[in-house]
Structure 1
């Protein structure tokens, strides 16, 4: 059996262990460190070292060995923590992540970086505790067997690090796994004998490794409860601290290191998380022995299922429409059957979609490190508060929102929250507060970045905008002024720093969020702080839409963008320069976009007062879309038009309707730009700048 079959499992589990290691390091109180947190960090390093040794990842094993030794001195109280030492531990964690990525990509880790971090760890050990971390280094892969006296202590002594002859019992392990395990045990010492059957296969081993190390290596292949270790004298080894089952196959997850008081959210209820010590009273297993309560599945497989369920929903809609048009549609049995199919298909769709949903803690857990390092560079004291970590969002969106959210957080720390002395002079606490929150609202998720800083300065933003050549006026609303910070190249920073000031990033943030079907809102109060709100759809695979008809064509508008609909009256329509038209809605003048003109749809209504105006919002602005009819609301399966056909201006995606026809899903802002471009082509003599357009309007 090829041991590389287990690489993916090891990489995924090691990533989880490193993520938890970082979380515990950031939570550590350097003055009074929590023993359980130190133990959890130590166990994470220990588990990674065991797996790295199994798979022959030498540099990763050597790094974790040194780190583990230093952590051992820390948890025993021999090394007193300081902030700079914790920073070094975090750098070591980053180095382990880099080494893991290198091995994942079949590369060798950076040798210079490895030597540098090893020297740093050694220096700390020598200066703080006067000991070389290489003492007690792991033995060579196949040491010469030496007769060792059998341990005379009790089970606890043997299990904690006894050496010599051990009997390893494998319970309910298949033949292929047994062969692989015997080979791996041979790397830890000398296999004297091995015999038995699938129910109980016993391996006699001569090894200087501890039982914990032996078990940690084996648990990358089998579950912990399938392994029993005892010394050759018949005394069972201690099982007081069993290592977690990392994986029996690539589909079985092992949980990251965590203490019993803070279990990993996704941890199996039947076993401790990632090497965490179980409670003294063992909880009853929810299922049979050795059976995991969760599985690890490739995202590609989930996407394939979601796609198939989408096709099923489309087929169900087609059947429903066909049945409704049949002459004998009154047949109650047929109607009941279709209603049941529709209900079951919707339940199936929701269940499958929930598989892709993961908690926002996946995103928020990255920011304690960002806030710590950024605040350190800026010389500010920041308290980070997270709310709504259990709120779920589609996995694809959580990965795409991390970069924009990171930029917003760094921007709040740099521009929003004042320096401690400035805050104190203003009567505020020296420590600033940054809140990350997430909550569901209808079919959307609301993510907010809230700071209690100085807030946005309207006059300063307008002055900077004029200096940058942006078209602004003193009559602009606050919302419009706040949106100026998203203009390309716009920055109010007095000087360029490592954190910000180059005028790049905020416009990219806005484009990325709009690319996910969302938008950004800003609320700010001078002297009190700023709230940046991101509104995103829960998923990009399913869309709640409004069906509209233009000519003989059917289109879909995202329901989240629709505010209201009305029939425009002649007295509310105003002609502007050229053939521009605006619609007055409650003292607000909205640009009019005729869908039939923008998309060249024939046989559509051209008389404005005969159409229906759908008031929509995109990129913080409102528009009036003129359509022929409103057909209704429906949930549609989103199909990527660019992948399956080509990019179409004014269109974001497509879907298949119940009659089998394709309907285009409109892009609000793209449609407005397309409409403007076509009008400009029809009047080439007109200037295209906003200033020139305003002059023309004044002449009229």
Structure 2
């Protein structure tokens, strides 16, 4: 029966991309002068895992690059040469070509083979830069009648495996797994460490792959022992272990890696069947050669993973150890969320139906419905947490981009992040990447000054660019800040007049800053491949508004600029307050609601040409009559007879005049635009407990336009 290997290829591609992302993260954070040993080991393990997987699946082009990369990394972590910034640049370049090669095999994307060859030559030259030290000689072996062989009958080899400190249970479990590779003997030293002797025809990589499930590979010591000549006494069990050959000598003599100078191992791999699997053939990228420039936004942009949480590399149940995560396709998660949404609607319907029953006669039924409500709420929160992803998924893309762009522009930039663990809905996190990318590039290009200019103004030569994320109520606030020169009010106004925009010197700073979001607006003196064409900032704002968010700018000349983005945490299920105007029911997202009250007549004031305001605790707020905006016949036209709901969004407050409050409930957001059309002032719709449809008010848009209110709708 043919086995479909495509599922295993998908796992390899996912894990390889995770390994490359982790490698880049560690390389960008490494201290070149004094690198952390564990960081070097982690980078080496990532390269080693990719090499092993690519060789197993027959992706020999990737195996060749990772073999050279692994060899250089091994010399660095063994202390045979000192780490330099040139090494880091070479490793980052290797990461880029490996990513492109993975995309070539996975999606059929074009691969720049010249770049692949250049990186391989660069790694090889760096490896030989300080001269390869001679391989350590094997310790002297006692005189013997005949030389002891390294390979026994049938290609059997003997390995000594020295484990780090593990429990006896783990040692027994590991021994059982290794026994599938051949004959194993185990012993325990006085210091508590276990040692295995394994006779097998399999490779060291197979041994490491099994051990990796229980122990850290970096703490594992494997060396090859010679195969003892069996005498009669030895056959009866009276023999002793032969002297061991160090691992370095074994690598030199046997070349048990995937490639060596004579390419002997290629033939071994072919004999063992590596690369021949039914049901899936990796794409051939050998002739797909193009010298394409990298994308302007983020050339190393990785595809969205198929898991909601990053799967651990040591996943699977091995020797009594269970993985802490599993891979689940996004389609299955979305389907689960949709079903929970329907369950929430059904639960609301049941709750409304039993609300008319006599609590004395139907006590047990009402208790059961209350329990159902609690369970539905817990289920909804649990399922929604699956959809949430940490902002680190977005933030981790920028250190490399900042480093490369700063180097290109001749600037020094220190990049810091805060709140990377803050979670946001998956759908929003995918759409926020491009806007943030443009803002970060703008901060480096236009915000942070050249080192000479910073030094002249009394600043440090290195500018600081920070990305932060935090929760505020039902929203997440993402800020891009720099300590550069700040926005130039006069230049922005001059450019606006040049483009025949209606501006005046009386505009506030906040209003002037908003001009940079106009289409085609740019104050750059010259166009570069980084920016200056005036495209992007208008798209940034449009995309953020489309996500139900808002963008604000704070800037101080000479001290820097902060661009703040406010987004709802999720677009799927939220808490809402039901309000009534006439016979119509509307929903207000609860995250915007501050309080509700019935105003006194003396607290309501008329302002000529500007509608009405209401005094709340000494503060005058614009009064928004919702019945005028949506052209509805209300029950009351006097605010003192109805109710007002105080709303707040992006630092702005307003009082919404409604007839009545119905209550608070969970609502399942349905996209109105995809099912009907876009309606001004409405962000979506939901299904009520009685089966009717209620529209969800776009509070952010309402408050942004409140100053325009008069006798006509602000949404004209």
TM range (shorter): 0.7 to 0.9
Match of 1:337 in 2: 368
TM-fit CA distance, 1:397: 2.2
Q: 1:469 to 1:569 in 2, by over 3 A?
A: farther
Residues of 2 paired with 1:331 and 1:629: CA distance?
29
Q: TM-score, normalised by structure 2?
A: 0.71
Match of 1:261 in 2: none
Match of 2:25 in 1: 23
Q: 1:492 to 1:542 in 2, by over 3 A?
A: same
Q: 1:329 to 1:13 in 2, by over 3 A?
A: farther
Q: 1:380 to 1:148 in 2, by over 3 A?
A: farther
> Is the Cα–Cα contact under 8 Å of residues 455 and 525 in structure 1 kept in the other structure?
yes
Could you say what the CA RMSD is over the residues aligned between the two structures, in angstroms?
4.6
TM-fit CA distance, 1:41: 0.9
Residues of 1 paired with 2:580 and 2:319: CA distance?
57
1:527-564 Cα deviation digits (max 9, x unpaired) = 32222222222211122323222332211233344567
> Is the Cα–Cα contact under 8 Å of residues 37 and 77 in structure 2 kept in the other structure?
yes
Structure 1 position 367 matched with structure 2 position 367: no
Q: How does 1:518-557 map to 2 (within 5 A)?
A: 518-557=549-588
Of residues 677, 685, 690, the one that matches 1:654 is 685
Structure 1 position 102 matched with structure 2 position 112: no
Match of 2:477 in 1: 446
TM-fit CA distance, 1:25: 0.7
Residues of 1 paired with 2:535 and 2:670: CA distance?
32
Name whichever of 39-48 and 388-397 sits farther off: 388-397
Gapped regions of structure 2 (runs ≥ 5): 134-150, 164-173, 184-197, 229-239, 248-307
Of residues 590, 615, 632, the one that matches 1:559 is 590
Match of 1:199 in 2: none
Residues of 2 paired with 1:490 and 1:344: CA distance?
52
Q: TM-score, normalised by structure 1?
A: 0.72
Match of 2:513 in 1: 482
Q: How does 1:617-636 map to 2 (within 5 A)?
A: 627-636=658-667
Match of 1:60 in 2: 62
TM-fit CA distance, 1:584: 4.3
Residues of 1 paired with 2:357 and 2:407: CA distance?
71
Residues of 2 paired with 1:64 and 1:638: CA distance?
47
TM-fit CA distance, 1:79: 4.3
Gapped regions of structure 1 (runs ≥ 5): 132-144, 158-167, 179-184, 186-190, 193-202, 241-264, 277-284, 683-687, 689-700
TM-fit CA distance, 1:651: 2.6
Of residues 658, 661, 672, the one that matches 1:641 is 672
1:650-684 Cα deviation digits (max 9, x unpaired) = 432211112221111133576799999999999xx
Of residues 201, 204, 212, the one that matches 1:206 is 201
Residues of 2 paired with 1:568 and 1:479: CA distance?
34
Match of 2:90 in 1: 88
Match of 2:123 in 1: 121
Match of 2:437 in 1: 406
TM-fit CA distance, 1:52: 0.9
> Is the Cα–Cα contact under 8 Å of residues 688 and 694 in structure 2 kept in the other structure?
yes
Q: 1:669 to 1:469 in 2, by over 3 A?
A: farther
Match of 2:416 in 1: 385
Residues of 1 paired with 2:66 and 2:404: CA distance?
23
What is the DSSP-based 3-state SS (H/G/I as helix, E as strand, rest coil) of the residue aligned with 1:663?
strand
> Is the Cα–Cα contact under 8 Å of residues 51 and 66 in structure 2 kept in the other structure?
yes
Q: 1:120 to 1:172 in 2, by over 3 A?
A: closer
Of residues 316, 327, 339, the one that matches 2:347 is 316
Residues of 2 paired with 1:640 and 1:307: CA distance?
13
Q: 1:474 to 1:676 in 2, by over 3 A?
A: closer
The total of aligned residue pairs comes to 591
> Is the Cα–Cα contact under 8 Å of residues 453 and 530 in structure 1 kept in the other structure?
yes
Residues of 1 paired with 2:58 and 2:415: CA distance?
40
Q: 1:602 to 1:514 in 2, by over 3 A?
A: same
Match of 2:265 in 1: none
What is the DSSP-based 3-state SS (H/G/I as helix, E as strand, rest coil) of the residue aligned with 1:11?
helix
